[in-house]
Structure 1
Amino acid sequence: MSETFDITETLDVKGQSCPMPVVKTKGAIDDLAADEVLEVVATDSGSMSDIEGWADGTDGVELLDQEEGDGVYKHYVRKTE
């Protein structure tokens, strides 16, 4: 179980495969204010590495945590600027 975040918005990308989870995550993050947290819910196992790689290479975002369970992958991304 992950630590608790104050989630601002949840993005449901279940059933979508690469690159859509990352593309939609970027779009949703762009709409948030600094320090707000986006929860991304996906069913694509590749989203674990894809979103981590995107967050690591993108200024202004921080990957807080990732969870996996029952074929669902959750990602928590904070906008930092």
Structure 2
Amino acid sequence: MLVDARGMRCPWPVLRLARAMRSASRVDILADDPAAPAEIAALAATQGWSLQERDGGFVVARS
């Protein structure tokens, strides 16, 4: 699943990611808010999800 959160300011990218992860085991997310990488990493860490940076975005997956 792809979540395109470019142009959105935090917390919206993280909220979109959390919603997408309810029904998917892997989400590719694109976000250009400077705060997004830290927020996405924090959410992934608290949920036990793996996180990889890729092509200007992130891949989040259930571990």
Q: Contact 1:15–1:43 (CA<8 Å) still a contact in 2?
A: yes
Structure 2: 5+ residue stretches without partners: none
Q: More strand per residue: 1 or 2?
A: 1
1:58 is the counterpart of 2:47? yes
Residue number among 3, 12, 15 corresponding to 1:11 in the alignment? 3
User: 2:51 aligned with 1:79, yes or no?
Assistant: no
Structure 1: any 5+ residue segments left out of the alignment? 1-8
Question: Which AA in structure 2 matches 1:10?
Answer: L
Q: Aligned match of 1:43 in 32, 46, 51?
A: 32
Q: Does the 8 A contact of 1:48 with 1:66 survive in 2?
A: no
Which of the pair has more CA radius of gyration? Answer: 1
Take 1:78 and 1:48, find their aligned partners in 2: how far apart are those partners? Answer: 15
Give me the TM-score of the superposition, normalised by structure 1: 0.69
Q: How many residues align?
A: 63
